[in-house]
Amino acid sequence: MKNNRRKLGWKRLSLCTLILMLCIPIYAQRPRPMEVTGRVIDAAGESMIGVSILEKGTTNGVVTDLEGNYSLRVRRGATLVFSYVGYITQELQVTGRALNVTMKEDAETLDEVVVIGYGTTKAKNFTGSVDVVKMTDSPIADMGLNSASDMLRSRLSGVVMGAESGTVGSSSSILIRGRKSINATSEEPLIILDGVIFSGALDDIDPSSIETVSVLKDATSLAAYGSRAAQGVVMVTTKKGERGRPRINFSTSHEFSTPTYNPTYLDGAGYIRYRNAKTNQENLNNTSWMSFIERKNYEAGKETDWYDLVTRTGYTQNYSLNFSGATDNVNYYIGGRHSDQRGMVVGNGFVRNNLTINVSTKLTSWIELGANINYTDTKDDETPASVDDARQTPYGRWRYYVEGGDATAINPVWNTYNGVDKENKYSNMVMGGFFKIDVPWVEGLSYRMNLSYTKNNSKQKAFTHESNKPAMLTDDWDGLGYSSEYYNLATANGSIRSSENTNWVIDNIISYTRSFGEHYVSSSLVYTRDYSRTIGEYYYGSDFTNAGNTLLGWYGLGNATNKNFDSPTYTMHTDIGYLARLIYSYKDTYHFNASFRRDGSSVFGN
């Protein structure tokens, strides 16, 4: 037995030795970390600040300092990726402890055409600050965006999107390079759709029809639109047809959403201890303070998870269909989109429909006509549950005042299912067109007229029936948590609020763009006018005791005992603007941009 044990021990020792001998070479071959330092310069030998340096395949990276220097700890033999806007991205393998890099300008990026106020120019010839987000051939196109504002979130420097409320269909505010108004209000930036001022919200534009979004941020960029551009400019260019066979594209996306954080609420026993500790009771299990509803549920062992009742798994579905094509003389794009969102909060739903039509035709080689239509309508007919009111006694009942003894303890899902009607509808129609002449006897000279007519309507209806808010209970109840005063016509009320906005814009633009050897000149003269009119109405009624019922809902506001019909509001103003702009470049190295803008408005006195 001893000899067998010795043999077994030697076998174990030999096996461990073999494993160790196999592991030593493998460990010796593992790449060991090392410190890499270097300097990044441009073709002129100038230091480049803020160049991104990333170890390929990892999240390990740094940016260059004010002198263009960097230091990064990486694995031996790693590949470093050097990237900077407007320059060609380079991937270099680490072969030593020093790695200096010369960045080269990306000629394709510099030659790209960027959209600026009342025209376009090449990026290399414009001195203003313009950031561009592309939709076509971009990963963004495959993300199933629910709105146009999602394109800008976390993708542009200096552009801050407001925090999402968690309510589907809600719009995010857009802040470009901070607040600029005297009282620090968060006014929205000016939106330009296909070169014309857009009198609507950014989310009124179908995200699947967008080609690019350009954001103008500095004074040079904003000068084209004068005072209206004080909060920045967001320029949206929609898609056009491409030469070749007609294309039919259909896409759909579906997503589920759940809360990233679920608060933990006390169970029944924990709630009892909390209430007693809060009132300094010696007996933490005392239940004498309970209302009769709470006591009946406590004795029956019934508990309610209110947070579970107000939340659910959210679901969003998007469908997009478009037709496009182009020939020598005709270009067209027709697209439609349907978006249906069900939020994570019970009773929160939102539906949006979009239609986009872009058509242009060349009457001759130097005359072109175009027309466009952008239409959107939204609907929100549900009443969301109150997440804040989910902090209730777990022994409450399914009624308005869950415990029957405290008027502040309100059922968080009561309004969603009981006696509250709501209808919110919004529509925005934009019809426009352009007429362009490329003067045949003067190369580079053109005249363009833009026309746009916008009409949007908003109507919000709400009605609270008599069955919504019962009185407080006494010990005499019917077992369902309802008192004899449950149906109280005096508490019934409703309202209708509507607004209508009409707007039109006319732009007259004369442009001259020409290159003379090493010289580049682009000039524009603009005369623009716009008109806006808004009409608002508001109706309110309460107490339907004399009417005897609320069967007509908001259509029966005239039967209310208390009526408030506000006088319609009416606002109207017109604007006029003149712009002169000159862009000059020499050898694509020396640039000069100058703009002059003069505005007039009916809001000022004579």
What SS3 state is found at 12?
A: helix
Q: List the structure tokens of 21.
A: 């001998």
Q: Contact at 8 Å (CB) between 197 and 505?
A: yes
As a three-state string, the secondary structure of 217-248 is: CCHHHHHHHHHHHCCCEEEEEECCCCEEEEEE
Tell me the percentage of the chain whose pLDDT exceeds 90.
35
Q: List the structure tokens of 221.
A: 């960029």
Look up tokens 């260059």; give the residue: 64
Q: Answer yes or no: is pLDDT of 524 > 50.
A: yes
Of residues 484 and 381, more confidence is placed in 381
Query: 491 φ, ψ to 5°?
Result: -90, -10
Q: Answer yes or no: is pLDDT of 291 > 70.
A: yes
**Strand pairing class (174-176; 159-161):** antiparallel
pLDDT digits (tens, 9 = 90+) for 339-350: 999 999 999 999
Q: Answer yes or no: is pLDDT of 16 > 50.
A: no
- Name the pLDDT band for 263 (thresholds 50, 70, 90): confident
**Sign (positive/negative) of CA torsion 206, 207, 210, 212?**
positive
Q: Contact at 8 Å (CB) between 82 and 58?
A: no
Q: List the structure tokens of 197.
A: 């001022």
Distance CA 265, CA 81 (A): 48
Alpha-carbon torsion, ordered 155, 159, 162, 164, to 10 deg: -10
Q: What is the layout of strands, in order, in the sheet containing 33-41?
A: 69-75, 33-41, 101-102
Q: List the structure tokens of 230.
A: 């004080």
Q: Answer yes or no: is pLDDT of 262 > 60.
A: yes
Distance CA 523, CA 585 (A): 12
Residue 109 has what pLDDT? 59
Averaged pLDDT, 527-545 = 94
Q: Which of 66-80, 113-127, 157-171, 417-431 has the lowest mean pLDDT?
A: 157-171
Q: Is 557 left (phi over 0), alpha (psi -120 to 50) or beta?
A: alpha
What is the biggest distance separating any 2 CA atoms in the chain, rounded to whole angstroms?
Answer: 118
Distance CA 282, CA 272 (A): 12
Residue 10 has what pLDDT? 41
Nearest to 456 by CA among 426, 487, 496, 414: 426
Residue 12 has what pLDDT? 46
Contacts of 250 (CB under 8 A, 6+ apart): 319, 320, 321
pLDDT digits (tens, 9 = 90+) for 58-113: 878 888 888 899 999 998 888 998 987 667 888 898 888 889 999 887 766 555 66
pLDDT digits (tens, 9 = 90+) for 18-58: 444 544 444 444 556 889 999 999 888 888 887 888 888 78
* Amino acid at site 322: N
Averaged pLDDT, 512-530 = 91
Q: Answer yes or no: is pLDDT of 192 > 50.
A: yes
Q: Contact at 8 Å (CB) between 530 and 197?
A: yes
Q: Contact at 8 Å (CB) between 246 and 324?
A: yes
**Strand pairing class (210-216; 33-41):** unpaired
Averaged pLDDT, 437-447 = 92
Q: What is the mean pLDDT of the chain?
A: 83
* Amino acid at site 492: A
Q: Contact at 8 Å (CB) between 495 and 538?
A: yes
**Sign (positive/negative) of CA torsion 413, 417, 420, 422?**
positive
* Amino acid at site 599: D
pLDDT digits (tens, 9 = 90+) for 479-490: 544 544 457 888
Residue 164 has what pLDDT? 58
Averaged pLDDT, 515-534 = 92
Residue 110 has what pLDDT? 59
pLDDT digits (tens, 9 = 90+) for 545-572: 999 889 999 999 999 999 988 778 999 9
Task: For residue 155, give Cα distances in angstroms to 81, 140, 215, 358, 460.
Answer: 20, 10, 11, 27, 34
What SS3 state is found at 9?
A: helix
Q: List the structure tokens of 160.
A: 């801050």
Distance CA 506, CA 333 (A): 23
Helices (H), 81-143: 107-111
Q: Answer yes or no: is pLDDT of 336 > 50.
A: yes
Q: Contact at 8 Å (CB) between 290 and 395?
A: yes
Q: Contact at 8 Å (CB) between 577 and 509?
A: no
Residue 406 has what pLDDT? 75
Look up tokens 């441009």; give the residue: 42
The DSSP line for 410-468 is: B-TTHHHHSSEEEEEEEEEEEEEEEEEEE-TTSTTEEEEEEEEEEEEEEEEEEEE-TTS
